[in-house]
Structure 1
Amino acid sequence: MFWQKRRKEDRVSDDSWLIVGLGNPGAKYEATRHNVGQMALDVLADRIGGRFSPHRTGSRVAEGRVRPGGPKLVLAKSNGYMNTSGGPVSGLAKYYGVPADRIIVIHDELDVPFDSIKLKQGGGHGGHNGLRDIAKALGTPEFLRVRVGVGRPPGQQDAADFVLRPFGSNERQALPVLLEDAADAAEALVDEGLLTAQQRFHGRAVK
């Protein structure tokens, strides 16, 4: 297997975490609600001074540490579509030797209001096909999730259409703070653990 042949310098220490931002490829989708996970990952990449580059698993990867001596973060965006996220995530987990409980997936969440962040580990996919595919590929749903609220569509608008549209004008004003919160939440999961991070972020709203 390719992950058994990785170079010595590619190996990651036991303090490493894999953080995945979900989304779809291409300019058509980059500003849509469905890509908010990748937007938050860009914030994290800026913090660690990382630059995304192609990886043999079909992803773009950036590596670094938020602070000297801190845990190493492997940030990843799949080159494929949301619904096929599982293969790249599973490949990266095997390549870097990261177990499911040190994988964080940042994704859009219809069941959470736009101005909120929710954190959880495991559980169902709630109809989110990206999460469904990752759980299937990993053989477990017990990875951590940063659920970035995008809210429910207004009126009778179809949910699938809603998440594939750009944020509204009022949302775009608040979006930078929401993305910072999502990045903060991912860092808190790494540094503080799930329960403490939940206490910090649940119920918080973008100001």
Structure 2
Amino acid sequence: MKCIVGLGNPGKKYEDTRHNVGFMVIDELLNRHNWNLDKKKFNGQYAMEHYQGDKLILLKPQTYMNLSGESIRPLMDFYNIDLEDLLIIYDDLDLPAGKIRLRQKGGHGGHNGVRSSIDHLGTKEFKRIRIGIGRPVTSIPVVDYVLGSFPKEQQGDVGESIKLAADACETWLNTPFVDVMNEYNN
């Protein structure tokens, strides 16, 4: 069984913010396949589905970003999901808006949702898709920036990066991750 987690903050207030691009990728996958987040447990909303003969869980933690690991770890333990079968998607200030980057492991890079995931999983070695949101070009505090919406001129690029990240997720479900990285990191 594989598990794809999109990081974000729950609630209408945060729905279209930069910090919620992980949720947006999960939404893209749900829409493509006509799936629903119909389960609520482990401080999250999730779907358990089948994709090309394999079981798959899509998770949106409902803990708020800084506590994401409190949702991911119990779900993985309950369903006995190996770290090898986990993919976490989140926003990244260090990538330009509209770019994605896949990695097999890494640090948190100052991202509190990833920090919480690392703390609760006990390792930095899990697959991830980082979606670029760019850095603020004004003196706006980072917290206000990530909790703000994308300006109109970035929405097209960001929409494309969300679709590309969803494509990468689908490819990973039946392709070794290193091959997925080679394909989508270009």
TM normalised by structure 2 equals 0.94
Query: 1:123 is matched with which residue?
Result: 106
Distance 1:180 1:66, change over 3 A: farther
CA distance in 2, matches of 1:146, 1:175: 14
Deviation of residue 158 (structure 1)? 2.0
2:61 corresponds to 1:78: yes
2:33 corresponds to 1:40: no
One-letter amino acid of the structure 2 residue matched with residue 185 of structure 1: A
Query: 1:133 is matched with which residue?
Result: 116
Task: Map 1:1-207 to 2 at 5 A.
Answer: 16-67=1-52, 69=53, 71-203=54-186
Deviation of residue 30 (structure 1)? 0.6
One-letter amino acid of the structure 1 residue matched with residue 114 of structure 2: L
Taking only aligned residues, the RMSD between alpha carbons, in angstroms, comes to: 1.4
Deviation of residue 187 (structure 1)? 2.0
One-letter amino acid of the structure 2 residue matched with residue 55 of structure 1: K
Cα offsets for 1:100-147 (capped at 9, x unmatched): 121110100111111211001221100000001011111112111010
User: What is the SS of the residue equivalent to 2:14?
Assistant: coil
CA distance in 2, matches of 1:199, 1:97: 29
One-letter amino acid of the structure 1 residue matched with residue 91 of structure 2: D
Deviation of residue 79 (structure 1)? 1.4
Deviation of residue 159 (structure 1)? 1.8
CA distance in 2, matches of 1:157, 1:76: 31
Aligned length: 186
Q: Does the 8 Å contact 2:39/2:47 carry over to 1?
A: no
Which deviates the most, 114-123 or 47-56? 47-56
One-letter amino acid of the structure 2 residue matched with residue 41 of structure 1: I
Deviation of residue 191 (structure 1)? 2.1
Distance 1:54 1:66, change over 3 A: closer
Which deviates the most, 96-105 or 187-196? 187-196
Cα offsets for 1:2-36 (capped at 9, x unmatched): xxxxxxxxxxxxxx111111000111101000000
CA distance in 1, matches of 2:176, 2:140: 37
Give the % identical residues: 38
Q: Does the 8 Å contact 2:63/2:70 carry over to 1?
A: no
Cα offsets for 1:72-103 (capped at 9, x unmatched): 22001111100000111001101111011211
Gaps of 5+ in 1: 1-15
TM normalised by structure 1 equals 0.85
Larger Cα-atom Rg: 1
